[in-house]
Structure 1
Amino acid sequence: MAAPKPVYFDEEEDEEEQNPGAFMWMEGDSLAPPCQSDRDVVSKIVDIARVTPNDVLFDLGCGDGRICIEAAKRFGARARGVEIEEFLIKRFRELIVANDLQQLVSVSHGDLLAEDLSEATAIVTYLLPDALDQLTPKFTKLLSQTDKDVRIICNTWGIPGLIPDERHDAGPYGNVPLFVYKSSGRHGASKEQAEELRQT
């Protein structure tokens, strides 16, 4: 039987209202780009994260929560989003109710850099390089665990200094790189190695 499809806002409303302040955005203002991931990219992320009902997925800079909603609705995973923009949190909470996912999905209004990730088994980011650089020590510690299966999926920009275990291309034109890091067999990357893999 096919997994239930998540309820989202309609496409036209999604385009017009997903970020009313995006036109004023300047680099350095935020830890994340001023846009949501397209829905086909969202589906690809959740697929390659290989989430199950036993997982706890965190989306750092979750926007309207579409990745959390997808993971919970399709696979029964618990999911938690972290977001700073209040209008996006409001939309996220509306989607949680519309999908009847109050028991599985929650959102935290706060600083994603300070979020406790100890419960996470899957982490999703769509963050700018400066933010990923600040999170690298925390991510490296999580990935060094040998008694826990942790996956980190980075949209567009990867974790500085680490070689991804997998790379996937998403989006209608295959132009959105997704980097997957796993807790088993971690190894450091030189800047040259990491840059070469990002460009392949």
Structure 2
Amino acid sequence: MPGSEATTTLLLLRHGETALTAQRRLSGSGGSDPVLSETGRRQAAAAGESLAKRDAVHAVVSSPLRRCRETAAAAARGLGLEVRIDERLREADFGVWEGLTFTEVRERYPDELAAWLRSPTAVPGGTGEPLASVAHRVESWRDELLARHAGQTVLIVSHVAPLRTLVRLALGAPPASLFRMELSAASVSEVAYDGSGIASLRSLNDTSHLR
């Protein structure tokens, strides 16, 4: 962010719960695109109320998938902002693993799962999207966002893989770190970039607004 000395803050909001979230099933961009459950709608509303009490938020950007658009709409209402959609914030495609639990994937596709956990270039579910591809699109989006919103606070509503990737990039951590982060439904994490582009993780998986 050449010429900018102000801090740019990214608020990372995971979408609220869906029926698949509650069952801990993989739900990517290649699946059924579920809507929020009743619990998820309450979570989205609670997140919106909490965010409205913060210092100014200048923009809201969301994944195009319905669970994120619904969550973002609830948050944006309290902020008085419109939601901008960006395809690069969509969840990974998990191929034939879509809708399965990790236990079911481990039982049916043990070698493929082991390869995916080991390497970011491995293709999940035979036809899905490697985590390296997720990182590439998320990183290019982040760079554009930092240039466009230098010195501002932006709410990002997305999914586990893109949000974990934003945290990983901020920390300069290896790809394997993605599997060592917990991001609960409707949780908020915060990453800040100073004027020289140095990132710091301020919070991770904050769910205090849901209690």
TM-score tier, shorter chain, comes to 0.3 to 0.5
Report 1 or 2 for greater relative contact order, CA contacts < 8 Å, sequence distance ≥ 6.
2
TM-score, structure 1 normalization: 0.40
Q: Which structure's residues are more often helix, by fraction? A: 2
